[in-house]
Amino acid sequence: MPEKTRKPGALSALFKQREVGLFIILAVLFLLVGLRNPAFTTGSNALFILEDTAIMMILALGMLCVLLVGSIDISIAAIMALSTMTAGIVMKQNLNITEIQVVTDGVMGSATLRESTPLILLVIIGMGVGALCGALNGLLIAYGRVLPIVATLGMQYILYGVSHVVSDGQAVYRKDMPDSFINLSRQAFLGLNSKIWFMLVVFAVMFLFLTYSRQGRYLYAVGSNRESAAMSGIKSPRATLIAHIIMGMLAGLAGLLYASRDTKITQDMAMGYEMYIIASCVIGGVSVSGGRGKAVGVLLGALTMGVINNALTMLRLTGNSEFWKKAIQGALILAAVVINVIIQRSKERRVLRDRRI
Amino acid sequence: MERMISRLPKWMRRWEWILVILILLVFALFSRLQPDNYTIPKLLNQTRVYMVDVGFLALGILVVLILGDIDISIGATAALSVTVMAVTYNQGNGIPFLLAVALMLLTGALCGFVNGLLVSRFPELFPMIITLSTLTLYRGIAYIILKDQSSGRFPSWYAKDLGYGSFRLFGLDVPIMLVCILAVLPVYYIWLHKSASGRRIFAAGTNLTASRYSGVQTGRIKVMAFTLNGIMAAVGGFFLTSRTGSVKYTLATGFEMQAIAIAVLGGASTSGGRGSVIGLLLALILMTGLKNGLMLVYNDAFILNLSIGLLLILIVLIPNIAGRIRRQNTVRRQRMSLQKT
Amino acid sequence: MKKTLSLLLALVMLLSLASVALAEEPIQIGVVYKQTGNPFFEAAVRGFEEASKELGFEFIHNGPADSSNEGQIQIIEGYIQQGVDAIAISANDAAGVVSVLQSAMDQGIKVVSWDSKVEPEGRILNIDPSVAQNIGRVQVEEIAQQIGGEGQIAVLSAGATMDNQNTWIRYMQEELEKPEYAKIELVTIVYGDDLTDKSIQEMQGLINSYPDLKGVISPTTVGVAAAAVAIKDNGLSGKIKLTGLGLPSEMAEYLKDGTCEAMFLWNPIDLGYCAAYASVALVKGEITGAAGESFAAGRLGDKEIMEASDGGSFTLVGDPFRFTPENIDDWKEVY
């Protein structure tokens, strides 16, 4: 006699999702901090957090692809630096400054117009160089059989070095940038900052790619079990390569937004970001061994990091805003990861229990 | 080429000889380019800069790598340990310096112990992730203690004699720091390569489950290895501070990757089961010589790192490609011999 | 008799050859600054270049990318190995570089500090850009005048271990204790480490945490530029007043659009130029760096060496200059 198993309702299935749990934790955190400092829970502050974290989110989405295939990329910061520096050199060399007369409030004054290579071309250059770097990583890892940590570690050194050579030790400052680039991260459409729009577009594309496209599903397959994927005819080296190229492209894009926000491009920019991004992914439920992770989770993970950062600033914990940030970040990653394990173990136990032997 | 290599006696076919050749090449190249500055006495003096502090870190991480694990928190461990030493000495109402040093070693051991405990208890999590979080944790604690300030004012012998002092040996000035690490190396070698406990570490790294079934206490070994790693990190930080004279929470940032690079160049594999103390020493010498030479010629930190990265990748890549070519050749030869029949 | 004469002749020839050989060795100076990618120091290097053309010395220059103490120590050790004659340094950590500089001086290398000094045990002479008290005072005066004499202000500094920052901030705090500033409150000092990214974040943190903030002083070129970016991005130009030490080339736009009404700086080119002349004078033995001596500093005239408050000796370059929207155009191409 078959047992009557209760069919889980749609709502409880939803709650079983990791990401929903994370979202709830995030919302609770948000409200708690708001109790302490009402300025925190304003719409404008929430928007500000989103804007601040948007660049991280784009990078984390790229890292998601890489982690899904069971690889890792420590060189993303270096890719950002090199691709942005390349675009920076191009825009610096083609810069045209013109002084024009403007009339403001009936008074004659002068304004400077800065123009250079068209913005779209700069974006293509940045993302292109990024894709190239990602491809190099992918080739080394997939076809050269070099371990991802070693390959991307070496590439990190190499790419920062190339960035230095390309820039000849010079940095690119605001005065070397065209207005179009400076405004890249500052324009607002429909009330939302351009960085948020970029992030939303990347997220939408990534979500569709991973959920509905064949190549996207291949990433999950290769990460879960390389041999079975190979048996099923999926070329795992190719999937790894594609994942790294995507990472590189997004790193290029993120680098341009970052440089636009800071109005500065230095040969060593973004050093140290890689760990932050990996942490965001881990909190968001991505498994480092591959095969598990969702775009939504990654966004929430990056958002959590951003909220904590902002909360600490707003709570004014003794003067310097970075006071507890570092330690709490570490504790957070540890907690997230331990919770991850507990959930995993309980899931396995449940699966074992539900088996009818 | 293959036949040439197979004709060499077994002890010469080892990885370390490539390192020796590279060292000789580097030395020849740079002493030609900068004859006045790239001399043995000057180089000996320069070993202070890199060889000792990163060297100790690399020795620690070597054991962890042999086990097949990884630890990226060693820089942070070093920072925290030395922070403890600096703060207890400066604020501690007349605590003797040696006590502060002992506290530093204790902190390092503790940091390593926590890492080891977590890694052995949660095998599903990757050591990468665990040590990633302890990295931010330890540096964060160092930040809470020091904030943006730096702490210094150590006894004068620390900087003068340890940091910049040297022995006179055979007419050369040998830095005392260098002697310290060279004294530790033979002990390390004997323990890791010749003793039973060292053998167990290699076994655990090669196949964890098989070793456990053979009675090797893998959990305990992991904890011990990480604790040792923590102590070595503290020692490395100690020597680093003797030269820099002050401690900031950013101490030793990026050193973890350099230590791993040295261990890997010396023959360790990140998947475990392989590693060599002699190789590590040779890799250290090679890296110091290379760094120094490049710095003299280019006066540029980035070119340095570029070459290190290139070297690291080539060293790992070339055997892989060579292996692939060899396999393709074997397949082709087999096919050809089949055709003949 | 002939033998002695020929021996004497040979000796004289040898000596003259030796002196020619020695004279042909140009003086080499190793310049160390706080970080690369900073236009302030790029301008200072131009000062060194100008002096090197006039005096005929060679120099190499470098700085760590992350404005770290360790990075500077590595560079100094490299210079020692190369056997430079003098080291001219703007230090990230006044105490941290003392050991390595002492080791340099033990080997006969002359050490001069400029911009941000090294503790007296680690240097022979310090080149101060201006009287430190004045630097602190004018910035406080300026911000007080801009915010109308009352309100909250904050300071966005560079590194907590940088001596010049701490000295100026100390003088600012002393100045604020005067009765005419009783209604002004210095709420906090934050550190951006002269990293643009971090400085922007710190400024944003100030904007978020202190809604009543009326003014910000940033006595560092990286900081004041970052603060301007943050203020402008938040649409607060003119609502939060900004002043500090800024480079005209970086800040010209912000002076024109009202984000910053006035700021100060001295000429970093002159600073480098003076440091170069001082170093060469030390190497040639024209001065020993003691108070009371003086040396010729090219187009800057004669510089007098005075006793410094920390027990060492120092000399001054000039006074801080006030940049306004009216005069900024004259300077934005210079540095």
Look up residue C332 and give its amino acid: K
Selected residue with higher pLDDT from B148 and A227: A227
Q: Along the 335 residues of chain C, how does pLDDT read in single tens digits?
A: 555 554 454 454 444 444 444 445 788 999 999 988 788 898 899 999 999 999 899 999 998 877 888 889 888 988 888 889 999 999 998 888 888 898 899 889 999 999 988 988 889 999 888 888 888 888 998 999 898 888 999 999 988 778 889 889 999 999 899 988 888 999 888 888 888 877 888 888 888 778 889 999 999 999 999 999 989 888 888 889 999 999 888 888 888 888 888 999 888 888 999 999 999 999 988 888 888 888 888 888 888 888 887 878 888 887 788 888 888 888 877 77
pLDDT at position A325 is 60
Does residue B233 register a pLDDT over 80?
yes
Strand ranges (DSSP E) for A144-223? 188-189, 192-193
Lowest mean pLDDT among A71-80, A96-105, B227-236: A96-105
Q: Are residues B104 and B253 in the same domain?
A: yes
Nearest Cα residue to B137 out of A340, A329, A307, A283: A329
Alpha carbon distance C291, A232 (integer Å)? 83
Does residue A37 register a pLDDT over 70?
no
- HSE-CB at A117 with a 13 A cutoff on CA atoms is 16
Does residue B56 register a pLDDT over 80?
yes
pLDDT at position C19 is 44
Chain A residues near residue C226 by CB distance under 8 angstroms = 262
Grade residue A117 by pLDDT with cuts at 50, 70 and 90.
confident
Chain A residues near residue B270 by CB distance under 8 angstroms = 147, 149-150
Chain A residues near residue C253 by CB distance under 8 angstroms = 112, 174-175
Q: Do C197 and A262 touch (CB under 8 A)?
A: yes
pLDDT at position B334 is 86
Q: Which residues contact C321 (CB under 8 A, 6 or more apart)?
A: C264, C265, C266, C267
Quick one: DSSP state of residue A40? Answer: G
Q: Are residues B310 and B270 in the same domain?
A: no
Provide the CATH number for the domain formed by A19-26+38-96+118-348 in this structure: 1.10.3470
Question: Could you write out the DSSP letters of every residue in C224-249?
Answer: HHHHHHHHHHTT-BTTBEEEEB--HH
Lowest mean pLDDT among A195-204, B10-19, B109-118, B252-261: B10-19
Is residue B229 within 8 Å of B63, Cβ to Cβ? yes
Domains in chain C, CATH or no CATH each:
7-130+268-318 (3.40.50.2300), 132-265 (3.40.50.2300)
**Which residue of chain C is at minimal alpha-carbon distance from B161?**
C99
Give the number of domains in chain B: 2
- What does the angle CA A44 – CA A46 – CA A47 come to, to the nearest 5 degrees? 65
Q: Do C208 and A45 touch (CB under 8 A)?
A: yes
Selected residue with higher pLDDT from C27 and A341: C27
> Residue C209 is nearest to which of A48, A269, A316, comparing CB atoms?
A316
- What does the angle CA A346 – CA A347 – CA A350 come to, to the nearest 5 degrees? 85
Task: Looking at the complex, report in whole angstroms how far the Cα of residue B58 sits from the nearest Cα belonging to chain A.
Answer: 15
User: In whole angstroms, how large is the CA radius of gyration of chain C?
Assistant: 23
Q: Which residues contact A265 (CB under 8 A, 6 or more apart)?
A: A84, A85, A88, A167, A171, A172, A259
**Which residue of chain C is at minimal alpha-carbon distance from A187?**
C233
Interface of B with A in 307-326 (CB under 8 A): 307-310, 312-313, 316-317, 320-321, 324
Does residue B188 register a pLDDT over 50?
yes
Does residue A100 register a pLDDT over 70?
yes
> Averaged over A255-281, what is the pLDDT?
83
**DSSP strand pairing (A107-115 vs A96-104):** antiparallel
Q: Which residues pair with C29 in a beta bridge?
A: C59, C86
> Averaged over B155-172, what is the pLDDT?
73
Q: Do A145 and B320 touch (CB under 8 A)?
A: yes
Quick one: DSSP state of residue C210? Answer: -
Grade residue A7 by pLDDT with cuts at 50, 70 and 90.
low
**Which residue of chain B is at minimal alpha-carbon distance from A147?**
B270
> Residue A164 is nearest to which of B133, B140, B302, comparing CB atoms?
B302
Q: Do C70 and B153 touch (CB under 8 A)?
A: no
User: Which of B42, B151, B243 has the highest number of chain C CBs within 10 A, making it the mutation to test binding with C?
Assistant: B243
Grade residue A60 by pLDDT with cuts at 50, 70 and 90.
very high
* Chain B interface includes A102 (CB < 8 A): no
Does residue A245 register a pLDDT over 90?
yes
The residue segments making up the domain with residue B74 are 50-274
Asked whether residue B191 is domain-assigned, the answer is yes
Q: Do C37 and A263 touch (CB under 8 A)?
A: no
Nearest Cα residue to C27 out of C106, C88, C116: C88
**Which residue of chain C is at minimal alpha-carbon distance from A37?**
C209
What would the two tokens of residue C66 be?
């992350």
Grade residue A40 by pLDDT with cuts at 50, 70 and 90.
low
Grade residue B10 by pLDDT with cuts at 50, 70 and 90.
low
User: Which of B295, B297, B304 has the highest number of chain C CBs within 10 A, making it the mutation to test binding with C?
Assistant: B295
Interface of C with B in 226-265 (CB under 8 A): none
Asked whether residue B38 is domain-assigned, the answer is no
Asked whether residue B280 is domain-assigned, the answer is no
Task: Looking at the complex, report in whole angstroms how far the Cα of residue B155 sits from the nearest Cα belonging to chain A.
Answer: 30
Alpha carbon distance C113, C66 (integer Å)? 20
Alpha carbon distance A178, A116 (integer Å)? 6
**Which residue of chain C is at minimal alpha-carbon distance from B244?**
C96
* Chain A interface includes B21 (CB < 8 A): no
Alpha carbon distance C49, C65 (integer Å)? 22
User: Which of C36, C157, C251, C332 has the highest number of chain A CBs within 10 A, making it the mutation to test binding with A?
Assistant: C36
Does residue A323 register a pLDDT over 60?
no
How far lies B122's CA from each of A340, B152, B273, B294, C90, in Å?
11, 38, 21, 43, 48
Does residue A357 register a pLDDT over 90?
no
Chain B residues near residue C160 by CB distance under 8 angstroms = 147-150
**Which residue of chain B is at minimal alpha-carbon distance from C191?**
B148
Q: Are residues B326 and B224 in the same domain?
A: no
Nearest Cα residue to C323 out of C232, C241, C280, C261: C261
- For chains B and C, count residue pairs whose Cβ atoms are closer than 8 Å: 77
pLDDT at position C20 is 42
ipTM of the modeled complex: 0.75
Question: Could you write out the DSSP letters of every residue in C164-179?
Answer: HHHHHHHHHHHHHTSG
Chain C residues near residue A321 by CB distance under 8 angstroms = 190, 201-202, 205, 209
pLDDT at position C17 is 43
Alpha carbon distance C254, C224 (integer Å)? 10
Question: Could you write out the DSSP letters of every residue in A51-109?
Answer: HHHHHHHHHHHHHHHHHHTT---TTHHHHHHHHHHHHHHHHHHT-EEEEEEEEETTEEE
Specify the DSSP element, H or E, that contains B190: none
> Averaged over A254-261, what is the pLDDT?
92
Q: Do C225 and A319 touch (CB under 8 A)?
A: no
Q: Are residues B95 and B149 in the same domain?
A: yes
Is residue C247 within 8 Å of C310, Cβ to Cβ? no
pTM metric for this prediction: 0.78
Q: Do C78 and B245 touch (CB under 8 A)?
A: no
Q: Are residues B245 and B313 in the same domain?
A: no
> Averaged over A340-352, what is the pLDDT?
75
Question: Could you write out the DSSP letters of every residue in C290-321?
Answer: -TT-EEE-GGG-EEE-EE-TTSSEEEE----E
Chain C residues near residue B244 by CB distance under 8 angstroms = 69-70, 73, 96, 99
Alpha carbon distance A289, A61 (integer Å)? 17
Task: Looking at the complex, report in whole angstroms how far the Cα of residue A102 sits from the nearest Cα belonging to chain C.
Answer: 13
Chain Cα centroid distance, residue B336: 47
